[in-house]
Amino acid sequence: MEKVFMKLHQAIEEITGLKKSKVSYTDIAQALGVSRQYANQIKEKELTLEQLKQLEEYFDIKFNLPDEVEEADFTIVEHINISPSCGHGTSVYHDVEVTPVKLGNDLIKNIFKISTPKSLKTFQASGDSMSPSIEDGDILLVDTERKDFHNGGIFLITINEDWFIKRLRQKINGDLEIISDNKEKYPTETIRQSDEVTLDIKGRIIKNLSRGL
């Protein structure tokens, strides 16, 4: 089998030639299911076979690829350059920078047991409220499709647009407890059903890449 070596800017040139029309990074972003900023940042990166197939399907074209190709042994994951707080919250009021990060496919499938790597993103934690599980500066792998907290776990959440890393527990009366691991310094907080609070679960933290969580 042959490996495919095609960078994004080369793919754009080929698509432009096949379609006889200009292709923008907005178009590429929609095809790959990523942000335009991220698409622009990976223009010099080699595309995976899966990404090439996404482009073929979206633009209804066929790249000039070998009949049999070997899939890349890595997956590109977006690192979101905000620092969700293990403390009092991190506010984000602007478009954030996204950086591509490579994770090995064997690690994703056999160690992390993840079948849909498209939903993975990484973040860097800040603060000490989740110590000792998560320390300030730790890099966290988040599955953005896993949002059910009833079986435990640590989650990336926003409360009124402030970002946090917390455990969640729902009480019998419907109130929601926001739990820190560093309980001596950060007591459990409760969001009552009557509170005018918007909470959104962004995903479950499935691995602390800086340690053994």
Rounded CA-CA distance 33/141 in Å is 19
> Which tops the pLDDT comparison, 118 or 91?
118
> Is the CB of residue 78 less than 8 Å from the CB of residue 121?
yes
Contacts of residue 153, defined as CB under 8 A and 6 or more positions apart, other chains included, come to 167, 204, 205
Closest CA to 114 of 77, 156, 139: 77
Catalogue all structural domains in the chain, each as residue range(s) with its CATH number: 2-70 (1.10.260), 74-208 (2.10.109.10)
pTM of the model: 0.66
Contacts of residue 67, defined as CB under 8 A and 6 or more positions apart, other chains included, come to none
Q: Percent of the chain scored above 70 by pLDDT?
A: 88
Cα torsion 87, 204, 117, 40: sign: negative
Q: What is the pLDDT of residue 95?
A: 58
Range from 22-26, 32-36, 124-128, 162-166 carrying the lowest mean pLDDT: 32-36
| Token pair 């499938």 in the structure block, residue | 109
> Which tops the pLDDT comparison, 65 or 56?
56
151 secondary structure, DSSP code = T
Q: Percent of the chain scored above 90 by pLDDT?
A: 41
pLDDT digits (tens, 9 = 90+) for 113-152: 777 787 899 999 999 999 999 999 999 999 999 898 888 8
Count of residues making up the chain: 213
